[in-house]
Chain A
Amino acid sequence: MLETILKEKFGYSSFRQGQKEIIDSIIHRRDVFAVLPTGSGKSICYLLPGYVMEGLVIIVTPLLSLMEDQCEQLRAHGEKRVKALNSFLTYQEKERILGQLRDLKYLFISPEMLQNKKLLNQLTKIKIALFVVDEAHCISEWGHEFRTDYLKLASIRHTLGTAPCLALTATANDHVKRDIIKQLDMEQCDQYIYPIDRKNISIVVKKCETIDEKIEEAISIIKTVHLPGILYCGSRDWTEQLTSIIQIRTNYRVAYYHGGMTTEDRILIQRQFIDGELDLIVCTNAFGMGINKSNVRLVMHFHYPKHINSYVQEIGRAGRDGKQSLAVLLYCPLDDQIPKHLIDQSYPDDDVLARIFSRIKYENVKLHSDQLLVIMQEEGASETAAQFLHYQLRQFANKDLDIEKVQKMIKSTIQERKQHKWRELNEMKRWIETKRCRREAYLELYNEQVIEKREPCCDHCGLNWDIFRKGKREKRSFDKMDTWEERLQKLLNNN
C-alpha cells in the first residue's frame, strides 16, 4: 500500500534504505529521530506520510533557499497544496498564506516565523499530521547562538497538539544527536541511524604554506580532475575573488554563489549548475542543502568548516550517482584565523558584557524587553552576539534574581559555549592533522567503522590521481553564442 503511493506520487518503484521503517513509525504516531546520508531521499520520509495521515505536515527548515527549493520541487511534481512561510515575504503574502492554511497539505516554515502569535493561533485551529524538523543538526549547530528560535521548537510543538515529531539530518555525532533529542523533547523516540560512509568519495587533504600556494593548488586540481565541482569558501569575498581568478586562469565556466546575491540571481546560478551549464560553482555554505545534482565529481574546500559535521555534509554532495568522486580540503596555517574570528564574534566579549549589564542596572531595563537588542548593539555587540544574549537574558526574566548573579551565570554560559565551539573546531583540526586513514578517523567520531575498504580511499591510504584525471576531450570552452533573435526563437518556438 505504501509502495503504491510511492509509485503514484513520486514515481519510485521501491523504497530506499531506511525510508519505509521511518514512515512506518510515523504513521504509528511515534516520534522519530533519523540520520539518513545525503542523497538518500530524506524528503520522502515526511512527504509520503502526508498522503496517508489526515492534516497538515509542518516542515521546519533552516535556510530560506532550501525551503523554497523543496517547495518548488513538490510543485514540479504536481502537488499544489504547498506553501513556504518565512520572514522575507511581504505582509500581504503572509496574510494570504495564513488564510489558506486549511487547504494546505505541506507548510515549509522557518523557526523564526513559527514564533508568530497569529500564525500559531491559526495553526492550533487545524489538524496537524506531522511536525518535521529538517536538517535538525542546525538546532545544535546554530540554535544556541544566532538561531535561538530553534530552542523554542519543543514548546511550540506541544502547543500544536500531539502530532508526532520527525527530526531528520544527514550527519549527527553522539553529542549532536542527544542535543537534538533533548531540545525537541522527544526522549522516547524511535531512532534510525544509517551509515554515513560514502565509499565512492575519495578524501584528500593538501597542506600549503601560503594562500598563494593554495590558490595555485586549487587551480591545478580544477584543471586536472573531473568536474562538475563545488568549491567551498569561508566568506562571500573569497567566493568572488576566487571566481575571477579561476575565470582568468582557466577556460571553465565558473560562477559564485552566496547569500548576499539577489534571490533571482541565485536561482539562475543554481539552475545553471544543475543543468550542467557550469563546470564549477564557488560558494559559501549557503549553497548545497536541498540541491539535487547526482553527478558532482569534485567537492573542494578552500577553507575548512568549523565543524566536522558540516564537512561530512558538504562532501556528501559529491557522487550521489555512486560513481567515483573526489573530496579535497586545502589547508594553510593562515586559515585558522577565519573560524577563530567567527567564534569570537558570536558572543559578546567581557567588556561589552560589562557595559551592557551596567546599563541594564542603571536604566532599569526589563530583561525581556526588545529595547535590549538596541542597547547591546549600541554597546558594540555583533548581531549574532546580541541575539544570543537576548535569548539568554529572557530565560532570567520574571525570576527576580540579582542582576549581578545573572551576569555571572551568563558569563559562564558564554564560556561553556565557546569552549564547546573550540572543541568542535579542534576536532576538525585534529582530523586535518591526522596521520591515519581519513575515513576511519572521521567515521570513528560517529561511532562507525569502515566496513569494507575500497580503493582509492584517502591520501593516507595512498591514492593514484590518474583515476580522477580527465581525458583531453573534456576540456571546455564557451559554446558559440546564438544571436539574440535565435535565442528568442529557441525560447518561444517549438519547431
Chain B
Amino acid sequence: MSYHVFVVLHLIKKFQGDRSIYGIYHLLRGKKSSQTIQDSVLFSAQAFFNSLENLSRENWSHLIRSCCSKHLLQEIKKDHFTLTDKGSDTYLMLSKSYSIPAGLELTDWIDIETPFWKKLKMIIQSLSHMVHHKRYYYPVTRQDDIQQWTKNFYRYLKVNRYQISKQLQKEIKTALSTCSDLESGILVYQLSGFQVNGMTIEQLAMLTHSSLFETSFLFKSSVRQLLNQIASKPNKYPILAKIADLDRSASAVSLTQSARKTLKLINRGLTLDQIASIRRLTQNTIEDHVIEIAFQDPSFPIDSFIDENSYQHIQRIIGSLTTKRLSVIKDACGQDISYFMIRLVLAKERI
C-alpha cells in the first residue's frame, strides 16, 4: 500500500493541481489522445505514460480518496488535487525507501511497447511448442491481428525453428543484461510455452512480496530497456528487431489515427471548418488534432492558425506565469486570444 501512496504523491506533486486526477489516470493507462500525449511532455511525466495499463478507474479514485482521508492531499477544485504539508512530508519520507525504476524513463519506443510485448509473448509460445513438436496450443492472446502477425512472421524467416529458438533465447539473455534480476524475472515469468504457463503481474507481485504498482513499473522498465537495447544495436538482435519492427514504427510519427486523417486534409489545403464538416467531427476535435500534430512534428507550419503578434504575446505571458493551467493563462492573455491559440503555442514551444 505505501508504494501506491508514494506513486500517488509523486504524480500529484508533478502535476501541482494543473490537471485533474482523471487526466493523470489517462496518462497511466496510456490513452492515445492528443491531450494526454501532450500533458505527459508538459509535465515531464512521459515515464508514466502507459505504465499502469490495466488500472481501473475505481481503483484509482479509491486510492486518491484514501490519500485524502489521511490528509495527504487537498482538493483545490473538483478532481484537482495538491499535496498538503503532511503529504509533502510523507512523500519525502517515502522517497527514502521507494523509487521509480530508472528504466521507466526510456520512453523512445513507448508507442510500440504494448504491441511488441504481445507479439513477443505469442512468438515465444509458438516457438516453445514447435521445438517440443506440438502443433496446437491455446494462444495467450485472442487478438486476431497478433495471431495473424505471428503466422506471417515465420514466413519471412527462412531459418528453421530450432535455430530461431536458440538465437532468440540468446538475444533475450543479452538484451536483458541492463535489467536487474528482478526485472528480468518479472518479464520472463509472464511468458507461456509448452508445459509452462505464464503468471499474471498480480501473481508476480505476490510472489515477490511487492506492490502491484511497483511490479508493473518494474515490468515496464524491463520492456523499455529491452526495446532500447534492440534499437541501439539492431544488428546484434536480428530476431527481436524483427518482432519490434522499429523501422516501420519510427516512420509513423506517433499520431493517432484520427489526427493523421486530419493532417492529410490540412495538407490538401482545407480549412479546419471544412475538415470538421467533412469528417463529421466537432471543431474542437479537429483543433485537438492540430495541437497533436504541431506537438509531434516540429516542422509543421502553424501560421495559418495564429499570427506572429498573438504568438509572441502568448509566449510572453506564459513566460511570466508559473502555472501551466490554461484558464489562468487565458485570463492573462485577454479576450482576443482563444484557448486553441494558447494550446498551439504550448505545443509548439513544447512546454
| Residues of chain A having any CB pair with chain B under 8 Å | 68, 72, 75-78, 89-90, 92-93, 96, 247, 255, 260, 262-265, 267-269, 271-272, 275, 277, 478, 481, 483-485, 487-494
Query: Which residues from 281 to 339 on chain B have a C-beta closer than 8 Å to any C-beta of chain A?
Result: none
Apart from A68-B142, A78-B136, what 17 extra A-B contacts exist at CB < 8 Å?
Answer: A76-B136, A93-B144, A247-B206, A260-B56, A263-B141, A267-B142, A268-B140, A268-B197, A272-B199, A275-B197, A484-B176, A487-B191, A492-B124, A492-B128, A492-B166, A492-B169, A494-B162
The reply to whether B142 and A271 form a contact with Cβ atoms under 8 Å apart is no
B209 shortest CB reach to chain A, Å: 12
- A272-B197 contact, Cβ under 8 Å, with A484-B181, A484-B188: yes
| Least CB separation from A71: chain B residue | B142
| Least CB separation from B135: chain A residue | A78
The reply to whether A494 and B131 form a contact with Cβ atoms under 8 Å apart is yes
A471 to B139 alpha-carbon distance, docked (Å): 36
B140 shortest CB reach to chain A, Å: 6
Q: Could you list 20 A-B pairs, sorted by A, with CB under 8 Å? A: A72-B138, A75-B136, A76-B136, A77-B136, A78-B135, A78-B136, A96-B144, A247-B206, A262-B54, A264-B141, A267-B142, A271-B138, A271-B192, A271-B197, A481-B207, A484-B184, A484-B188, A490-B193, A492-B165, A493-B169
The reply to whether B141 and A491 form a contact with Cβ atoms under 8 Å apart is no
Task: Flag whether B137 is at the interface (Cβ < 8 A).
Answer: yes
Q: Which residues of B contact A72 (CB under 8 A)?
A: 138-139, 142
| Least CB separation from B127: chain A residue | A492
Q: Which residues of A contact B197 (CB under 8 A)?
A: 268, 271-272, 275, 277
A167 shortest CB reach to chain B, Å: 27
Interface string of B121-156 (1 = CB under 8 A from A): 000100110011101111111101100000000000
A383 shortest CB reach to chain B, Å: 16
A265 to B173 alpha-carbon distance, docked (Å): 25
Binding site secondary structure of chain A: helix
A93 to B148 alpha-carbon distance, docked (Å): 11
Q: Pick the contact of A267: B138, B176, B187, B202 (CB < 8 A).
A: B138
Task: Flag whether B23 is at the interface (Cβ < 8 A).
Answer: no
The reply to whether A490 and B136 form a contact with Cβ atoms under 8 Å apart is no
The reply to whether B189 and A492 form a contact with Cβ atoms under 8 Å apart is no
| Least CB separation from B136: chain A residue | A76
| Least CB separation from B194: chain A residue | A491
- Per CB-CB distance, the 8 closest pairs between chain A and chain B, nearest first, are A491-B193, A484-B188, A76-B136, A484-B185, A492-B169, A494-B131, A265-B200, A93-B144
Task: Flag whether B67 is at the interface (Cβ < 8 A).
Answer: no
A488 shortest CB reach to chain B, Å: 5
Q: Which residues of A contact B106 (CB under 8 A)?
A: none
Q: Which residues of A contact B200 (CB under 8 A)?
A: 255, 265, 268-269
B185 shortest CB reach to chain A, Å: 4
Task: Flag whether B68 is at the interface (Cβ < 8 A).
Answer: no
The reply to whether A268 and B173 form a contact with Cβ atoms under 8 Å apart is no
A93 to B133 alpha-carbon distance, docked (Å): 30
Q: Which residues of A contact B137 (CB under 8 A)?
A: 76
A484 to B173 alpha-carbon distance, docked (Å): 9
The reply to whether B196 and A493 form a contact with Cβ atoms under 8 Å apart is no
A240 shortest CB reach to chain B, Å: 10
Q: Which residues of B contact A255 (CB under 8 A)?
A: 200, 203
- Candidate in A72, A247, A492 with the most chain B CB atoms within 10 angstroms: A492
Question: On chain B, which size bracket covers the interface?
Answer: 35 or more
Q: Which residues of B contact A77 (CB under 8 A)?
A: 136
A263 to B139 alpha-carbon distance, docked (Å): 12
- A491-B199 contact, Cβ under 8 Å, with A72-B139, A485-B173: no
Q: Pick the contact of A491: B133, B136, B139, B191 (CB < 8 A).
A: B191
A269 to B140 alpha-carbon distance, docked (Å): 11
A440 shortest CB reach to chain B, Å: 40
- Candidate in B187, B200, B202, B203 with the most chain A CB atoms within 10 angstroms: B200
| Least CB separation from B193: chain A residue | A491
- Candidate in A77, A78, A89, A265 with the most chain B CB atoms within 10 angstroms: A265
Q: Pick the contact of B188: A75, A269, A488 (CB < 8 A).
A: A488
| Least CB separation from B164: chain A residue | A492
Q: Which residues of B contact A275 (CB under 8 A)?
A: 195, 197
- A268-B193 contact, Cβ under 8 Å, with A492-B124, A492-B127, A492-B165: no
Task: Flag whether B198 is at the interface (Cβ < 8 A).
Answer: yes
Q: Which residues of A contact B185 (CB under 8 A)?
A: 483-484
The reply to whether A491 and B203 form a contact with Cβ atoms under 8 Å apart is no
A112 shortest CB reach to chain B, Å: 18
- A492-B139 contact, Cβ under 8 Å, with A247-B206, A255-B203, A265-B200: no
| Least CB separation from B162: chain A residue | A494
Q: Pick the contact of A89: B144, B165, B192, B193 (CB < 8 A).
A: B144
- Candidate in B176, B198, B206 with the most chain A CB atoms within 10 angstroms: B198
- A489-B169 contact, Cβ under 8 Å, with A76-B138, A93-B145: yes
Q: Which residues of B contact A483 (CB under 8 A)?
A: 181, 185
Q: Pick the contact of A492: B144, B168, B181, B184 (CB < 8 A).
A: B168
| Least CB separation from A275: chain B residue | B197
Task: Flag whether B172 is at the interface (Cβ < 8 A).
Answer: yes
| Least CB separation from B58: chain A residue | A260
| Least CB separation from B182: chain A residue | A484
The reply to whether B193 and A492 form a contact with Cβ atoms under 8 Å apart is yes
Q: Which residues of B contact A268 (CB under 8 A)?
A: 140, 192, 197-200
Q: Which residues of B contact A269 (CB under 8 A)?
A: 200
| Least CB separation from B183: chain A residue | A484
Q: Pick the contact of A264: B124, B140, B187, B207 (CB < 8 A).
A: B140
B132 shortest CB reach to chain A, Å: 5
Q: Which residues of B contact A487 (CB under 8 A)?
A: 188-189, 191, 196
A272 to B195 alpha-carbon distance, docked (Å): 10
A78 to B137 alpha-carbon distance, docked (Å): 10
A104 shortest CB reach to chain B, Å: 14
A21 to B169 alpha-carbon distance, docked (Å): 52
The reply to whether A493 and B166 form a contact with Cβ atoms under 8 Å apart is yes
B314 shortest CB reach to chain A, Å: 39
